[in-house]
Structure 1
Amino acid sequence: MSKKNSEKILGKCVIQEILDIIGGKWSMSIIFALLHGTKRFNELQKLVTNINTRMLVKELKNMEENGIVIREVFATVPPTVQYTLTEKGRKLEPSLTELFKWGEEFVN
């Protein structure tokens, strides 16, 4: 078996791809906030404490490109933008819940 195949079997390639999609510093916090329903941009900015506007935009664009969130723009003045998890994004809920439980037990 080649090294490339053994790495893929061990999950190294898949894990790296996952981290490319949801591995940003703020991604999991954003997804966790969206698990409770659709949020406007400003709501997300308030819920994800200490994130700056530029970083929130960057993380949301990455997640939109990877099919984790849907961005919906409404023709209002000023424009209203809402974000919702896709089905693909919602499937992260069990993993995030377990990670949260792990954090409660071992962090701090």
Structure 2
Amino acid sequence: MKIQYNMRCNLAQTLNIIGDKWSLLILHQLFTGNETYKDLQDGLEGIPTNLLSERLKSLESDELVLRELYQSHPPRYKYTLTEKGVDLVDVFTSLMMWGEKHLNKCYKQVVHKNCGGQVQHRYYCPDCGSFVTAQELELINPNNEKGVEQ
């Protein structure tokens, strides 16, 4: 992980992993099924080849991407998301839903596959079985460390 933000904050530390230019788009391409270097390059118009290679290595070292050899001569690899990488689907969806609401031009909408209705975010607490509003959310420090930013 390259350190961009030296803050004791989950958001800052997450951005150290996926917050640089192209990383989220590369992960999203993998999520949509593009697996080879060529597929990724074709799906990411304008990404320099050296930057794509660098980002894939970084994402692999952060355990978000798995690289597998599928051809030995010349060596060719396919890239897949690890479980940690797949867990970013909610981040992709949240960013797309934010874009639907706030961008001047919306390219895609997030809809329910079965009925076509537009979906909404909902927070759920499994401990009490309740849906929770954003106003009812609270960030806590589980380790009770003083001076830790949320």
2:79 to 59, 83, 86: 83
User: Which residues of structure 1 form unaligned runs of 5+?
Assistant: 1-6
Q: Which structure has more RCO (C-alpha within 8 Å, separation ≥ 6)?
A: 1
- The Cα shift of 1:69 comes to 0.3
Runs (5+) with no aligned partner, structure 2? 1-6, 105-150
Across the two proteins, how many residue pairs are aligned to each other?
A: 98
Q: 2:18 aligns with which of 14, 22, 31?
A: 22
Cross-structure match for 2:138: none
The alignment-based identity, stated in percent, is 39
Larger Rg: 2
Could you say which residue in structure 2 is the equivalent of 1:50? Answer: 46
How far did 1:104 drift? 2.8
Does the 8 A contact of 1:38 with 1:85 survive in 2? no
TM-score by length of 2: 0.60
Q: 1:19 and 1:94 mapped to 2: Cα distance?
A: 15
Matched, 1:93 2:89: yes
- Structure 1 runs of 4+ aligned residues shifted over 4 Å read none
CA contact (8 A) 1:45 1:53 kept: yes
